[in-house]
Amino acid sequence: MIVPPAQTSLTPSGSVSVLDRAATISREVPRWHATSAWRPRDAAEPRVRWWSVAACMMSIALVRQSLTWFGFARTLRRIRGRRERIEVNTDLSPNIVATADRVVAFAAALYPGRALCLERSLVLYDRLRRAGAAVEIQIGVQATPFAAHAWVMYCGEPVNDSAEHVSHFVVMPELRS
């Protein structure tokens, strides 16, 4: 590490002072490393808090367990049942949607094992419904090679996937539970 001369003070032995070196190192430490939240480089990106990621990891585990024990229909019915108690907000800030998507993406990346797209989409769907967003969950299939995929739509755009990737799938009819 090279310390600019204006910031250095040499000790009698000719080395850089420990205090100056510590001050220089503290300026070089990224902000996300020094706080309890991950701060993206772009200030327009939403801030993600570690406890939100931990809560999402727990939600992924609960959704995975619910899918295993009760199946998809009952899990979706439980999530939609919560939505009934929350007023739907049609002019929700895109920042809230982006923040929820980042939190779920971080949680899925840190989740032990592998969080499948269905589990991630159900957790994101649940979080956005609790925030009052008018979102819908989509499940699509691709014939050759066979593949199935789940994603969340908000205002006609996919939230947790790209529009190009989603275009390869034929969307199944509305999911009723």
Whether pTM > 0.85 for this model: the answer is no
Q: How far apart are the C-alpha atoms of 165 and 168, rounded to whole Å?
A: 6
In the chain, what is the straight-line distance between the N-terminal and C-terminal CA atoms, in Å? 61
Q: Which residue has the higher pLDDT, 120 or 25?
A: 120
Which residue, chain included where needed, has tokens 């706080």? 35
Q: How far apart are the C-alpha atoms of 90 and 134, rounded to whole Å?
A: 6
Q: Which tens digit of pLDDT belongs to each residue from 46-105?
A: 667 788 888 989 999 999 999 999 999 999 988 888 755 566 666 677 788 888 898 999
